[in-house]
Chains A and B, each alone.
Chain A
Amino acid sequence: MTMNASFDRTLSDEDVLRRRATLLQRLHIDGPLLLLLLLLAAGSLFVLYSASGRNLDLLVKQASSFGLGMLAMLVIAQLEARFIARWVPLAYVLGVILLAVVEVMGHNAMGATRWINIPGVIRFQPSEFMKIIMPATIAWYLARNNLPPGLKHTAVSLALIGVPFVLILRQPDLGTSLLILASGAFVLFVAGLPWLWIGGAVAAVVPVAVGMWYFVLLQYQKQRVLTFLDPESDPLGTGWNIIQSKAAIGSGGVFGKGWLLGTQSHLDFLPESHTDFIIAVLAEEFGLVGVCLLLLVYLLLIARGLVITVQAQTLFGKLWAGGLTMTFFVYVFINIGMVSGLLPVVGVPLPFISYGGTSLVTLLSGFGVLMSIHTHRKWIAQV
């Protein structure tokens, strides 16, 4: 009798747990990631409502983009990483071709050629596609050989990174090209690139930067860097953004001015307040506490990503997951860094919070990849 009762209780508890895990597993969804992503989505709509000046249309668009991104994530999560690996080289070649097409006949928007526009059919940025495929390509290439990569494999990897990097840089889009570069480089890092080489590369940054300044950077890009170094030099021109965003963040204080009460954004002093500079709105209205909470969610996402990296069964999965996770942090760091005046202004949106469908779909696709890597593991290994 007593035995029976205790048996029943134990069984029913485990049963509930197992059944829930089974549902998410069946959909190849990682629970912790999903929870964090939903949290971010809710926060994004909250902040956007204020930053856009209570624009509900914009909110609906963002929500539907989020839904679309979730769908993409779900679809990608169903694909087995091993299956994807087979198609990576082809995807890379396709991506490079598309970038070249943009170079030749792309659609011009805001002074930069970034879009492919087939009227009535599709309009997208091949560089976004490349953000996912770039680390996959390097991961695919390095996973075929022993780690750490030797000189030859490193050189080939750098060449593979270099082609899309240059193509995107010429669009011109410094921010995205650097992100692509970073996403490839992080795979090399995770793959155990020797520290000596990493140190050498960092040491080479200075001459490369000088060379870029004179031969690669365009006037507006130079201006951004100059403005970053001394925003007060042109307070009504390019320095305006930084001065105003710093004022927005700083005036928020510890607890912020309150939701919908930020003056900097609501009176239009803050430029791009619902896209790249949205962190300033958040910082103004929710203060240091609000920003720290957001950072915490990001760090939890990254932590989960690194756990997935370590637990991945295939080397390809480990490298791709590691690259994607580290790149995600670069997004966060560059965006908050530039808005708070630590880094020059480059066009990088704040992941999941900034308004913009393209970025959302790309990011969620990336997390779909992570979920795929994590949920298609063979259970034998665990048992």
Chain B
Amino acid sequence: MPEPIRLKDHEKDARLVRARAVVGATVVLLLSLVLVARLYYLQVIQYEHHSTLAENNRIHVQPIPPNRGLIFDRNGVILADNRPSFSLTVTRERAGDWRKVLDTIVSVLELGEEERTLFEKRVRQGRRPFEPVPVLFELSEEQIARIAVNQFLLPGVEVAAQLVRHYPQNEHFAHSVGYVGRINERELKKLDPVDYSGTHHIGKTGVELFYEELLHGQVGYEEVETNARGRVLRVLKHTDPVPGKDLTLSLDLNLQKAAEAALGDRRGAVIAIDPTSGGVLAMISQPSFNPNLFVTGISIKDYAALRDSIDRPLYNRVLRGIYPPGSTIKPVVALAGLDSGVVERSTRVFDPGFYQLPNVKHKYRNWNRGGDGWVNMELAIARSNDTYFYSLAHRMGIDRLHRYLSHFGIGQRVSLDMFEEAAGLMPSREWKRVSRRQAWYPGETLITGIGQGYMLATPLQLAQATALLANKGKWHRPRLLMKADGLSPEQLMASGLLAARPAPPDIQLKDPHNWDLINSDMQQVVHGARGTAHKVGATARYRIAGKSGTAQVVAIRQGEKYDRNKLQERHRDHALFIAFAPAENPQIAVAVMVENGESGSGVAAPVAKQVMDAWLLDEKGRLKARFAAPPQELAHDNER
């Protein structure tokens, strides 16, 4: 059967195509509605969401770190300022493989493996995404040039200018002003993340740490419009940072240098306080170190050298060094004896060269083995007679000694604004029972009376006790800060800018005349013919009230003699001297500790005198007129 011939039916084809076109048009319309619905969903229903997204894309808030407050000495000499410095920053998110980029930096700048490790550590410390993290500081011009030439190899690497802390006086104020360093992870947890969002450094020690809040200031903000690559196109809003407050310290650069010169190359501590205000005039712990090393991160090698040095340059002897105060405590003990009525001014003690408790064989020896014969209080202080003070201490008992000496600051943190001050130790029955689980022995009272035994004090505490002797018991906590923003530390505390640290109550004697008596006895130490420090007094242009002392480093056993030749140099006694001057109108109280100096009167006293000379005498070697003025007008003069 032949296949039927199929003719083309044009009408039918046209109808078919027309039907399909209608279907097609319907589908097109429906799908267009889908698109419109989708756009309606995005642009109307989700408008807020996407609008926020687009804004967040575009607008970034960048912190502007405040300039850290400057630190001046009392004469306006800059002790700490901010210097522009170029640092190398890495932005992890833009660097791609940032470890490889670090390798390239190391090879371009020809650095070593040690820096490479440090770089990696610093990059890891980056806090926010897209934050440029500084890895290398104080770039030299050559380094900047090398980075510029190789920029194409270093994505995400930039040379940034910033202000970096600088200490123009180098090692002179390392132990008082302290230094700043990079914020570490532990500090980061405690800091206000907003206020420190643009800050890389924080005070680590000294004034820099104690006054961190004042020095830091308040962070500023910049709202910027950025493109997708993070490039800032324009600033939309700008809030200025509030710079930190400038601090003026009571320290005096010239006195500081004079004191360092007086100490020479010996190890030791010198602290000078203005007894009328508590202001610290000079604070030396020698040897010192250059604080600038710490600002941008000290190298491991440099740090090891400082840390492991036998001379311990990082050790703040003024605040952290605790020593038996030795004979320097005797004026305070004598004053306590008078005030408590245990001794009279006329009380005499016979010194055969030792003291014995009743019914005890042990001999508590005077430093002068031959004995001084009959001694009264004046002679006992001038000659530093131990036997008199054994007797006095025995009669007073440890409880009263503890009360008086504590009031003079022994065993107490005395400072107003110094970081990490050691408390020292003023022993008591209670203390011994708790810490040693032992009763207090009478013999321990005796050696406490001459500043030995358990008693430990810092040079700062000795200076404070001296200042209290000088100003008749008026308590001013020693402070480094003189003015911040025109406000004294007390005013700062009153306005809540500084944590309050009230001074202990002033020391009230039953008979205030006793202050003058002890003052006079201390003058005898320096100016009396039999005074231990009479050699110093011979050349003095003004009256000095002082007291020498030695602090034992190695205990000497009963029956053994102190033989300097047998002892290694580092085991020799520390030399101590406390003094204030002019005796009739005290303007400066000084405590000197010379490590292994052996003789308080021979080694430490001349240092103290040089410090006082530097403060009190004018260039012609005469007492400055303002210090000779009577006390009533003095307060006026000081405010100048």
Number of residue pairs spanning A and B whose beta carbons lie under 8 angstroms apart: 148
Segment touching B, from A71-79, A207-215, A332-340:
A332-340
Q: A303: which B residues are within 8 A, CB to CB? A: 25
Q: Is the CB of B35 within 8 A of A309?
A: no
Question: Smallest CB-CB separation from B20: which chain A residue?
Answer: A190
Q: Is A253 an interface residue (CB 8 A)?
A: yes
Mostly, the A contact residues are helix
A247 to B12 alpha-carbon distance, docked (Å): 50
Question: Smallest CB-CB separation from A307: which chain B residue?
Answer: B21
Q: Is A267 an interface residue (CB 8 A)?
A: yes
Q: Is B374 an interface residue (CB 8 A)?
A: no
Q: Is the CB of A190 within 8 A of B31?
A: no
Q: Is the CB of B51 within 8 A of A253?
A: yes
Q: Is the CB of A267 within 8 A of B227?
A: yes
Binary interface profile of B, 9-44, with partner A (CB < 8 Å = 1, else 0)?
110111011111100110011011011101110111
Q: Is A102 an interface residue (CB 8 A)?
A: no
Binary interface profile of B, 554-590, with partner A (CB < 8 Å = 1, else 0)?
0000000000000000000000000000000000000
Q: Which of B31, B54, B233 has the most CB of A within 10 A?
A: B54
Q: Is the CB of B43 within 8 A of A315?
A: no
Binary interface profile of B, 349-370, with partner A (CB < 8 Å = 1, else 0)?
0000000000000000000000
Q: Is A274 an interface residue (CB 8 A)?
A: no
A254 to B28 alpha-carbon distance, docked (Å): 23
Q: B24: which A residues are within 8 A, CB to CB? A: 186, 189-190, 306, 322, 325-326
Q: Is the CB of A299 within 8 A of B43?
A: no
Q: Is the CB of B17 within 8 A of A251?
A: no
Q: Is B47 an interface residue (CB 8 A)?
A: yes
Q: Is B83 an interface residue (CB 8 A)?
A: no
Q: How far is the CB of A34 from chain B (nearest CB, A)?
A: 21
Q: How far is the CB of A295 from chain B (nearest CB, A)?
A: 6
Binary interface profile of A, 300-341, with partner B (CB < 8 Å = 1, else 0)?
001100100110000100110010011001000100110011
Binary interface profile of A, 157-172, with partner B (CB < 8 Å = 1, else 0)?
0000000000000000
Q: Is the CB of B50 within 8 A of A249?
A: yes
Q: Is the CB of B6 within 8 A of A340?
A: no
Q: Is A250 an interface residue (CB 8 A)?
A: yes
A243 to B56 alpha-carbon distance, docked (Å): 13
Q: Is B8 an interface residue (CB 8 A)?
A: yes
Q: A114: which B residues are within 8 A, CB to CB? A: none
Give the size of the chain B interface in residues (CB under 8 angstroms): 44
A189 to B13 alpha-carbon distance, docked (Å): 13
A251 to B56 alpha-carbon distance, docked (Å): 12
Q: How far is the CB of A324 from chain B (nearest CB, A)?
A: 12
A243 to B42 alpha-carbon distance, docked (Å): 12
Q: Is the CB of A340 within 8 A of B13?
A: no
Q: Which of B38, B39, B55 has the most CB of A within 10 A?
A: B39
A147 to B14 alpha-carbon distance, docked (Å): 10
A146 to B3 alpha-carbon distance, docked (Å): 15
| B44 CB contact (under 8 Å) in A244, A254, A322 | A254
A248 to B226 alpha-carbon distance, docked (Å): 16
Q: B226: which A residues are within 8 A, CB to CB? A: 267
Known: A190-B20, A288-B39. A250 touches B57 (CB 8 A): no
Interface residues of B in 590-620 (CB under 8 A from A): none
Question: Smallest CB-CB separation from B33: which chain A residue?
Answer: A295
Q: Is the CB of A268 within 8 A of B229?
A: yes
Mostly, the B contact residues are helix
Q: Is B58 an interface residue (CB 8 A)?
A: yes
Q: How far is the CB of A335 from chain B (nearest CB, A)?
A: 10
Interface residues of A in 186-244 (CB under 8 A from B): 186, 189-192, 243-244
Q: How far is the CB of B247 from chain A (nearest CB, A)?
A: 44
Q: Is the CB of B32 within 8 A of A251?
A: no
| A189 CB contact (under 8 Å) in B20, B32, B229, B233 | B20
| A247 CB contact (under 8 Å) in B18, B32, B50 | B50
Q: Is A148 an interface residue (CB 8 A)?
A: yes
Q: Is A342 an interface residue (CB 8 A)?
A: yes
Q: Is the CB of A263 within 8 A of B39?
A: no
Q: How far is the CB of B267 from chain A (nearest CB, A)?
A: 58
Q: Is A39 an interface residue (CB 8 A)?
A: no
Q: Is A269 an interface residue (CB 8 A)?
A: yes
Q: Is A246 an interface residue (CB 8 A)?
A: yes
Q: Is A183 an interface residue (CB 8 A)?
A: no
Known: A146-B8, A190-B21, A269-B228. A340 touches B54 (CB 8 A): no
Q: How far is the CB of A378 from chain B (nearest CB, A)?
A: 13
Q: Is B625 an interface residue (CB 8 A)?
A: no
A133 to B497 alpha-carbon distance, docked (Å): 84
| B57 CB contact (under 8 Å) in A192, A247, A254, A288 | A247
Q: Is B300 an interface residue (CB 8 A)?
A: no
Q: A249: which B residues are within 8 A, CB to CB? A: 39, 42-43, 50
A191 to B20 alpha-carbon distance, docked (Å): 8
A247 to B18 alpha-carbon distance, docked (Å): 41
A326 to B29 alpha-carbon distance, docked (Å): 12
| A322 CB contact (under 8 Å) in B17, B31, B58 | B17
Q: A298: which B residues are within 8 A, CB to CB? A: 32
A342 to B25 alpha-carbon distance, docked (Å): 21
Q: Is the CB of A318 within 8 A of B53?
A: no
Q: A250: which B residues are within 8 A, CB to CB? A: 42-43, 46-47, 49-51, 53-54
Q: Is B225 an interface residue (CB 8 A)?
A: yes
Q: Is the CB of B28 within 8 A of A329?
A: yes
Q: Is A283 an interface residue (CB 8 A)?
A: yes
Known: A263-B54, A342-B38. A192 touches B20 (CB 8 A): yes
A245 to B568 alpha-carbon distance, docked (Å): 81
Q: Is the CB of A192 within 8 A of B17?
A: yes
Q: Is the CB of A337 within 8 A of B35?
A: yes
A336 to B32 alpha-carbon distance, docked (Å): 10
Known: A253-B51, A329-B28. A264 touches B44 (CB 8 A): no
Q: How far is the CB of A253 from chain B (nearest CB, A)?
A: 5
Question: Smallest CB-CB separation from B12: which chain A residue?
Answer: A147
A284 to B38 alpha-carbon distance, docked (Å): 15
A147 to B11 alpha-carbon distance, docked (Å): 11
Question: Smallest CB-CB separation from B29: which chain A residue?
Answer: A299
A146 to B53 alpha-carbon distance, docked (Å): 57
Known: A189-B20, A267-B225, A309-B17. A299 touches B39 (CB 8 A): no
Binary interface profile of B, 488-521, with partner A (CB < 8 Å = 1, else 0)?
0000000000000000000000000000000000
Known: A146-B6, A192-B16, A269-B227. A263 touches B57 (CB 8 A): yes
| A306 CB contact (under 8 Å) in B21, B36, B50 | B21
A287 to B17 alpha-carbon distance, docked (Å): 37
Interface residues of A in 64-99 (CB under 8 A from B): none
Q: Is the CB of A253 within 8 A of B227?
A: no
Q: A254: which B residues are within 8 A, CB to CB? A: 43-44
Q: Is A126 an interface residue (CB 8 A)?
A: no
Chain B interfacial positions (CB closer than 8 Å to A): 6, 8-10, 12-14, 16-21, 24-25, 28-29, 31-32, 34-36, 38-40, 42-44, 46-47, 49-51, 53-55, 57-58, 225-229, 233
Identify the 8 closest CB pairs spanning chains A and B, nearest first: A250-B50, A251-B54, A247-B53, A192-B16, A267-B227, A268-B228, A250-B42, A251-B51
Chain A interfacial positions (CB closer than 8 Å to B): 146-148, 186, 189-192, 243-244, 246-254, 263-264, 267-269, 283-284, 287-288, 291-292, 295, 298-299, 302-303, 306, 309-310, 315, 318-319, 322, 325-326, 329, 333, 336-337, 340-342
20 additional contacts, CB 8 Å, given A249-B43, A310-B17, A340-B42? A191-B16, A191-B17, A192-B16, A247-B54, A250-B42, A253-B43, A263-B57, A264-B58, A267-B226, A267-B227, A269-B54, A295-B35, A299-B29, A303-B25, A306-B24, A315-B10, A329-B31, A340-B38, A341-B38, A342-B35
Can you report 12 A-B residue pairs in the complex whose CB atoms are below 8 A from each other? Answer: A189-B24, A253-B43, A263-B225, A267-B58, A267-B226, A288-B40, A288-B44, A322-B21, A329-B31, A336-B39, A340-B38, A340-B42
